[in-house]
Every structure is written in structure tokens, then in C-alpha cells.
Amino acid sequence: MNPDVQVDKVDVTGSWAASSLAVGADRGSDRFVGTADDAPITGGSAAIVSRIASLTIKSAAYGSPGTSEDFYGIAAEEIASVKIALTPLVLTAGASNDTASFFFGPSFDFALHEVGSAT
């Protein structure tokens, strides 16, 4: 539970399935990572942004196909670069500005987004 964590590079050689990654982010009241109520972990330095510098998933990214009772995602204050199935996502440079989720998978139960900045 480090609010100031910074991850350089995440490389997944296959698919990302039914898993979550929260970097300096806390799941909200719904208890799922990747949803709109995720928030930065409180505390830490206001000058440090939780960040994933690079995320590459070589194949597909998804939650649990056919299930609507779960949700998975990747969240941080800043996600600088993402490539899923060799396709780069278009992200806005900087922290906490890509807050609208990018949804993936056949059940759309996997999302990636930046959480709002800690205040």
C-alpha cells in the first residue's frame, strides 16, 4: 500500500486474464480495480505521482468472459505508455487525465485508467 510507488516496465508475454494491477491506487467502495471509484492511496508525497512508465501485453486483455459479477483492471495516477495486442493506446501525457476507462474483453469486465490526483 505505497502511495508513491513507481513501476518502470510491465511486460506480459501472453494474455492478461482475470487479474488486476493497482499502482498507488486503491479500489473504491465497489471493491474492484479499474472502475470509476478507484482513488489514489492517501498519504505519501504530493510531489510524487504513482506511475506505470510502460505496459505491454502481447496478446489479449480481459476479465472473466461470460461473467458479470466481477471486474478487473489496471489503475495508477499516471500510465505513460500502453500497448495491448501490439496496438498502442492513445493516452494524454501527464497524470490523472485519462480517467475515462478503456474497456477490454468479450464481457468488457477489464479496464485501464488513471485515477484522479491525491489532494
Q: How confident is the model at residue 5 (pLDDT cuts 50, 70, 90)?
A: very high
| DSSP symbol at 116 | P
Please tell me the distance from the alpha carbon of residue 41 to that of residue 100, in angstroms, as a whole number.
19
Among residues of the chain, what percentage have pLDDT more than 90? 58
The mean pLDDT of 4-32, rounded to a whole number, is 94
Do 73 and 57 touch, CB atoms closer than 8 A? no
Tens of pLDDT, residues 80-101: 999 999 899 989 888 888 877 7
Higher-pLDDT residue of 49 and 1 is: 49
Find cell 489503475 and name the residue: 75
- CA 27: distance to chain centroid? 11
The mean pLDDT of 59-69, rounded to a whole number, is 83
For residue 34, pLDDT beyond 90: no
Question: Shortest CA distance to 55 belongs to which of 100, 95, 23, 99?
Answer: 23
For residue 119, pLDDT beyond 60: no
Q: How far from 68 is each of 4, 16, 17, 104, 110, CA to CA, in Å?
A: 32, 18, 15, 13, 11
Q: How confident is the model at residue 67 (pLDDT cuts 50, 70, 90)?
A: low
Say which amino acid occupies 94.
G
Please tell me the distance from the alpha carbon of residue 95 to that of residue 3, in angstroms, as a whole number.
14
Per-residue model confidence (pLDDT) at position 64: 86
Phi then psi dihedrals of residue 88, to 5 deg = -75, 140
